[in-house]
Structures are given as C-alpha cells and as structure tokens.
Structure 1
Amino acid sequence: MVVVNANNWHWVDKNCIDWAQTYFSNNLTSLTAATTTGNESVKITSIDKLKGDVEVCQRKGKLISLFDLVLNINFETDEKEKGSINVPEIAYDTEPDEYQFQINFNNQSSTKNDLYRSLIKEKLIPQLREKLSMFGTDLITSQGSDILIDNDQVTSKYTAELTSQSIKSQNQKPVVKSKTTLNKSSSSTTTSTTKSKTGDKTTSFKLNPSTFQTTQEQLFDTLTQPQYVSMWTRSKAEIQPVENTPFKLLDGLITGTITKLKPVETVEMNWRLSNWKENQYLKLKMNLSKGSDGGETILNVSFEDCPSDDEGIVRGRWEDWLFGIRFSFGGIV
C-alpha cells in the first residue's frame, strides 16, 4: 500500500480482514491441550469462520486498530470427536478477560463430552485468550508501517512525536485489568442456585434496571421486531412478535421460543445456547415500565434456570446488547 500523506496528517485506513484470517490460522491451529495422564487431548484443527471488520487507521501521526469480529474455531479430540469453539466478539476495546467462548460438540450424545468440555475450559481456552489478547498489537506491528511515512520524512515536529508515541504504545503488551468499582459488571449478584431437570446446577439472576430515552412502544418493538433485533445483535434475527413461535439469533448460536407477550409491557422467552444439553433452556423475562420522566422507559431483565457454568456468558452477552440498544435511544444502561 503506497501512502502520499504529507506529515502523516490525513486519515488513512487499511482493510486487514484477509490478513486476520491468515493470522488466526497460523496462530491458533497449533494449539493443543491434554489431561495430566495424557490419555485425553484436544487440538485446534482449523478456522471455520471469521466475520466482521478489521482496519488499521492513521491520522495526525497516530496509529490505531479498529476491529469487531466473530470467530468460529474447529477442534478434534484424541477419539476423533469434532466440535467448534465460538468467540462471539473480538473487539478493539475488549479486555482479554472479557472474551467469551462457546463450546459445541458435533456429536451431542458422546459420553465424554463433559470431560472434553472441562479440558477445553481449563487448558485450551487460557491459550486462546492469550493469543487473542495479542491480536491488536500484532495487527499494528504487521500492517501499520505502510500507512505511515517514515519519521525522517516528516517535517512537523508535532506529528513526528505523535507517530513515535503511537508506535511505542502499540508495542506494549496488553494487560488484563482487575475488576474495580469503576469497571465491574453492572449486573446484580446471583439470587439463587438450584438444579435443573437435567441435573445440572442452575442460577437465577437479574440485571440492574436500564433506563432509555424512548417510549415503551418503541422499546418493545426494538426487543421483538426482526429488523430492530438484527441491529442490536449485529446479525440476521429470525424472530416474530407472536407467542409460542421459535426464534434464532447469531446464526443459530442462540435459539428458543417466545412464551409470553404483553404489548409494551412484557416479553418472556425460553432461551438457550446451542451447546447446552437437549431441551435445556433458561427463562428470560423482560418487563417494561414508564420512568419518572414521561419520555423514559425502564427495562428490567431477569433470568431463571441458567446453567451455572454459562452465567458469565449469558450475563455478558445481554450487557453488551443493552449497551448497543443504548445508542439507539440514549439513556443510562
């Protein structure tokens, strides 16, 4: 890529999605994990799907990376059982400890799925998390040089200094931030722990109320109409605001049934991730009410019978979605 950009002043961007595909193939397909006995093992075999946007940008001497990706990885066990690991969001502003991983087995009836799932969570996912945390830095290092003019050709001391600072900061290794009162999840704590019909431990919890600068009618439509749901999930949504009808989100990673609708007030669903056991659903309830200001609507979201191991995934996904809806109307999430 040839750049004609006096003093590195003007905005330049570079599409790097093809590079990202090669990067993940080279850096992830060599990862393996094994039990302490060595009798069971799992290895990453290929990148099944990479969708989204990846760009390196420069203006006024500053290099930045912007990316928002969905990654699907194939794996295989020592017994030749196959499956996939879905990472629903890899974004430029995501902390390494916030990455979420959804594990799916092609053969849902295998008796050793639980063993391999534990192995993946304990030994393979930490490796994936470390590799993903370096993506932004490696992206800048590999793809940023050809959208910058060399500093010895920059006559502006201001942009030359910005360029040097930008390169230096991008070469620093990302650090996993500890949760503080400023960056903790806004969700309430889990309210109870029980066992589901499948015998798995489940939890019930709710998110803190969210206030939106819009009417109940508009927010209700945003939560139930396919054209709006597609916007805040950032994927095609197969859903209709009709009771007892199925829905599918994120290419089938999330499915369920709308069980109850009370226009402008209530939405209830049976909701599941694709890697959960057959017929295992959580109960999702969304209640809408008027705020103290006539132009505000308050949304309360609660969950029942969520598998304990996946509470963080469900909670994080809905927090991200609510944050996205916020920008449609404004308000406090």
Structure 2
Amino acid sequence: MAKWGQGDPRWIVEERADATNVNNWHWTERDATSWSRRKLRAVLAGLAVEGAAGRCEVRDVKQVDGEASCTCRRGRLFFFYDWRIRLAWTGTMKESGEKHKGYVEIPSLSEENEVDDTEINISKKKGEGDVLKDLMKTEGTVKVREALKEYLKALKTDFTLGMILPTKSTVGQELAVERKLNGSTMQFVLQDSVSPVGIKIPTVKILMKEMFASSAEELYSIFTTKELVQKFSKCPALIDAEKGGRLQLFNGCVTGEYVELLPPQRIVMKWRCRNWPDEHYATVALNFKDMATQTELQLELKGVPVCNEADTRQCWQKQYFEEIHILLQQSEVNTK
C-alpha cells in the first residue's frame, strides 16, 4: 500500500474540497439534448438566401428530434449527437411577387459524418417556382451547413465550459485559447501562465412560482429557522439567518450564504449544489407575496449552470416546495 501522498495522483481525493471527479479522471456525462434543441432552432430559424429570381427564407423549424450528450473521461471530451431536422421555407419571386413553399429535410446529423457530408434534401410544394427550389438547393444548402457547423462549434466549446475542472495541479496555469479538435474528441492544452485558472460556464436563469396555504410570516420562517428547515428537509441543517450567515442543507448537498433578509418579504442567498463546479454559486431570490389566506412564493435563480437546469428545478419543486406543503399540512393537523 502506498504511503500517504505517494499514491497515484488521479485518486487523491483531497485535491478537491468536494472530492468531485479528481483530476477529471472519472467518467462524467452531461445531457445536451434540451440545450441542443434550443441552439439548433436559434441558428436555423430565419436563414435567408437571395438570388436573381427571388428570395427564400426558413420560416419555421418544424421538427428537431434526437438527442445529444457530452462525456468527460481522463480529461478528454467525447460527443454523441443524432438529430433529425425538418425546416419549412418560403420563397418570393422577385418580379411577380408570387410565393412558394417547401421543406428542408436533414435525416441524420450525427458525429459519424462531417457536416459537409450530411444529407440535406430540398423539396417544394407542387406548382411553379422550381427556380426557387434550385436557389435553396445551392445557396440555401450552404447556409444550412454553416448553421449546423455553428451549432457543433457551440456544443464543443460553450456547452462544455466547466466540464474539465481546475485542480491543484493546474493552479498557476490557464486553459489555452487554442483547442485542438480531433474528430469528435476535444483535447484541452494547458499552458504556463502567471494567472490562476478561471473558467466561465454557461448559465441560465430559472423563474418559478408556488402558492402556499400559509401567511408570509410563517413561510418566511420556514426558510430561516433551523428546526423548521430540518423538518421539511428531513436532514440536519446549518442555518445562520443573518446577513453573511451560512446555510447548509440535505447533508451538505446544498450550501450557501444569506445575502439579504427582509422579513417577511424577501430573502436573497448565495446557493450551490455540491456537484456544481468548485466555488460557483447561483443567486437565489425568494419573494413572499401575502395574499390574505395564502402566500405566493416567487423564486428567481440566476447563474444556474446550463447542464444543471433540470436538476435544479426538480430540487426546488420536489425537495423544497412539495416538502414544505407537507410540513404545512402537518402543522395544520397538529393545531386542530
């Protein structure tokens, strides 16, 4: 057995405070499906081409079916994506103003083929206007391929930010601006630098609302009183409800700090899940709107990592809202 500090550094878990994916050795995966659907729709909708005969434009993204994911293993990123896409285009003849419609079909966009080799089919509804169909087959196809390349570039850069995490061994280094793409594998090159590692990660804002059968004062106290937090979370908790005070819930899975407390109207916190990138916090604002017999809780989370959006929503819905409803129901029964 190796002495302490002499073992394989890939398994030395003390290098990270949360012991998460030390040295990026273990296999981690992100589901890129929802993000990809939004990105594909954004880059494809509104594409336009113009020629001597007229102008064509993608008016609607009819179908984006499939899935995408990114995995990290031994500090390398691997991508899987398989999409079936259908676009509706409209063309207008320059001289007559006559309009024609058709479709763009992409039966398989996947990592198995280069974008330039991906099949793109152009069709047109019956009638005149083949010249516009030809325009879409030539110039339109070029535009579509450019949009697909833009999506893949974003998938392999923007979406993956934060997946390869800094460790003690990389303090004093930064990720090189140049990223070498080798097929579907992206390798990050480390270069010496006097600056510490800093990684921007793509984030989203989450807005949620929930009605509770309680007063604003009672609901406010559930988020700021240790005993009540422990009741709805069913776990020991650390609650120091004052500005700058710490909070810790769900056996350390959620940690943070109170930034603003305005009883019984508003709470602002720094808030993070344990599996998020080190030192990354979202800002959580809870606004309590008293509506006589019940209270509307307005939740705003800023800075949630894109890949954790669904999990974060589920956390607040299942582990907070639903459990607080149960707690309030039990309190009502006990007071009768």
TM (normalized to structure 2)?
0.43
Structure with higher strand content: 2
The structure having more radius of gyration, on CA atoms, is 2
